[in-house]
Structure 1
Amino acid sequence: MNAPMPAQIPLGPRRWKPTPLITGTAALHVGAAAAMLAQPATWPWATGGVIASHLVLTAAGLWPKSALLGPNWTRLPKLPEAATDNCLALTIDDGPDPEVTPRVLDLLDEHGARATFFCIGDLARQYPQLVEAMIARGHAVENHSQRHRHTFSLSGPGALRREIETAQRTLTDISGQRPLFFRAPAGLRNPFLEPVLCDLGLHLASWTRRGFDTREREASKVTQRLLHGLAPRDILLVHDGHAAHSASGQPVVLDVLPDLLRAAARAQLRWTTLRDALVESPLKSAASPVQKAFDATPFDKIR
């Protein structure tokens, strides 16, 4: 399920609006408690309903492209004047990686493509020159958490905030740009995430399709998954970190990207960043006045 994109997508902190699933779950909890107080014998039904609602919430969090817990970019929004109608977004996760990222950047340069790098804060601290190179070459750097813990989706609101906010500071300090998007590790999350993102001025982004290039060793299969059904406004996911290697020892993503970039060119599709699809004047090299003001605001003033 994809959430509809508003005509004006806000920059900066947003007001959290619970989804129908969240409000329904809350109402069910209240109703179950009231039922047990009024008729204690109803406790099996009330308890069963509460357990079922938690299972639904868990399933929604395990579905990366779900919008049941809050807004979630699975495709680029449709913008006025057809600004994104011939665009794709290439998102690259889990870096920077000292072996793979420089070669990915070179490939993108060769094809005149721009990408969105979802960087891990701890790795950005280790290889700040790679993050700086991403920005210098016209790409966008976004938030993929500070440590990329596999237990991220099990965290409470306080732990989620600390993890995301630390990465936000790290990436802002290094890149000079405040991230506007967040992607959860493995795309997994829980109902506490969206209120934190709203407060930090971040938008959740997943993808239209991915190639599973962290475990698939055949580049042709990864490429086929990415190109099958390719359409304007798709968001594609590959990895420069944790990349699988082919039988020859080559990171698979380095074999996938040339074919992917050439296929987009043949289809007369161009690459944009999620950031450019968010600001008021998309696909421009300079940020809009709104974006410039947001980037210039001290980090602690947007909380």
Structure 2
Amino acid sequence: MKKTLVPKLFAFILCLLCWAIWPRDWALPANFVILATLMSTLTFPVFRPRSNFYIPTLSSAPNQPGLVAFTFDDGPDPRYTPQILDFLDREGISATFFVVGARVAEHPELVRDMIARGHIVGNHSYRHGFDFHFSLSSALHRDLDAFDDVMDEVIGKKCRLFRSPQGFRTPLLADVLRARKLVCVGWSARGFDTVRSDANAIVSSLIKKVASGGIMLLHDGGGLGGSEAREPTLKALPKLVASLRDRGLAFERLDKLLGTEAYFVRE
């Protein structure tokens, strides 16, 4: 917690100093401008998926030339996850699924199927509620405890890789992740498939951003923000894979791309 208090204390002290030394007529507006600037500086990293301001976040692996990784969020979803798994099988691609604990509890067989097919799963919170970002540390720990419990029951493993809902990382969440020794994962390219209904637009968005060592974000689950349907994602995948292969890129599983373990080793 001390690390996250430093920038806030710095902002407060700087404003007091400004108030003390600035001509009195200008002190209030000067303080307002400085405080607004500092608050925006402290807030912006919360919403930027690749920011390391509050906690180191792995968004790419630049030392992995010619390789990229697929990640899928918000599942498992019985409508779409099996179709995506079948597609990945046909293409010989291993991916990472950042799953929602409550959905794992509803569809444990889909997560076991992911593991059986050579994929890995990561932590995407238990409920994926927007209030997750406004939660105190105790509530965050309860959510992540619930996720760990259901994963232990379903696959007998505890996930190390964590991706926050919407990719937001608050100072409180950063402290909780450090305490739990979780590896925070972002992305370098996303298809915006929760809001786009055109498969070509999804492909274009990813192609423009992805490069060697890139981490791509798509979704296999619907109904947690944006569109309920994932048919555009299913239509985009064959075009995306073909295009990336034409560029000489190959696909690697996220843990191997990053050189980290996907699960904690039981003591």
Shorter-chain TM range is: 0.7 to 0.9
Question: Normalising to structure 1: TM-score of the pair?
Answer: 0.75
The CA distance in 2 between the partners of 1:61 and 1:223, in whole Å, is 27
Aligned to 1:74: 59
Cα distance in 1 for residues equivalent to 2:32 and 2:109: 54
Mapped contact 2:62–2:212 kept (Cα < 8 A): no
Is residue 161–residue 185 contact of structure 2 (8 Å, CA) maintained in 1? yes
Which of 30, 35, 42 is the aligned partner of 1:57?
Answer: 42
Q: Gaps (5+ residues) in structure 2?
A: none
Query: Quick one: structure 1 residues 160 and 52, their matched pair in 2 at CA, closer, same or farther if it must change by over 3 Å?
Result: farther
Q: Does 1:296 align with 2:240?
A: no
Task: Give 1:106 deviation, angstroms.
Answer: 0.2
Code of the residue aligned with 2:104 in structure 1: it is A
- Match among 94, 97, 112 for residue 77 of structure 2: 97
Counterpart for residue 12 of structure 1: none
**Shift of the alpha carbon at 1:263?**
2.3
Q: Is the 8 A contact 1:180 1:275 kept in 2?
A: no
Q: Deviations over 1:227-278 (max 9, x none)?
A: 12432101101101127779xx771111011112222333332222222234
User: In structure 1, how many angstroms separate the alpha carbons of the residues matched to 2:35 and 2:227?
Assistant: 45
Distance 1:110 1:123, change over 3 A: same
The reply to whether residue 24 of structure 1 matches residue 7 of structure 2 is yes
TM-superposed deviation, 1:177: 2.8
Indicate which of 105, 126, 135 corresponds to 1:146: 126
| Aligned-partner Cα distance in 1 for 2:149–2:27 | 47
The 2-side partners of 1:193 and 1:77 are apart by 26
Structure 1: which 5+ runs fail to align? Answer: 1-15, 79-83, 281-286, 298-303
Per-residue deviation, 1:36: 8.2
Alignment match, 2:137: 157
1:192 aligns with 2:172: yes
Q: Which amino acid is 2:49 matched to?
A: P
Shift of 1:222: 0.4
Deviates more, 1:189-198 or 1:96-105: 189-198
Equivalent residue in structure 1 for 2:106, among 117, 126, 134: 126
- What is the distance in 2 between the residues matched to 1:233 and 1:252? 25
**How far, CA to CA, are the matches of 1:73 and 1:130 in structure 2?**
26
How far the C-alpha of 1:130 sits from its partner, in A, is: 0.3
- Partners of 1:237 and 1:188 lie apart in 2 by 14
**Any idea what SS the aligned residue of 1:204 has?**
strand
**Alpha-carbon distance between aligned partners in 2 of 1:229 and 1:214, rounded to the nearest angstrom:** 17
Matched to 1:129, the amino acid is E
Structure 1: distance between partners of 2:17 and 2:230: 61
Q: Contact conserved, 1:238 with 1:253, CA < 8 A, in 2?
A: yes
**SS of structure 2 residue aligned to 1:242:** coil
Partners of 1:273 and 1:161 lie apart in 2 by: 28
TM-score by length of 2: 0.85
Residue in structure 2 matching 1:108, options 85, 88, 101: 88
Specify the alignment match of 1:221 in structure 2.
201
AA partner of residue 167 (structure 2): G
In angstroms, what is the RMSD of aligned CA positions?
Answer: 3.0
**Percent of residue pairs identical:** 31
Q: 2:65 matched to 1:85?
A: yes
Contact 1:211 1:237 in 2 (8 A): yes
Matches of 1:107 and 1:192 in 2, distance apart? 38
CA deviations 1:16-44 (Å, max 9, x no partner) are: 8948xx63333333565788899xx8994
Distance 2:62 2:178 in 1: 18
CA distance in 1, matches of 2:110, 2:34: 50
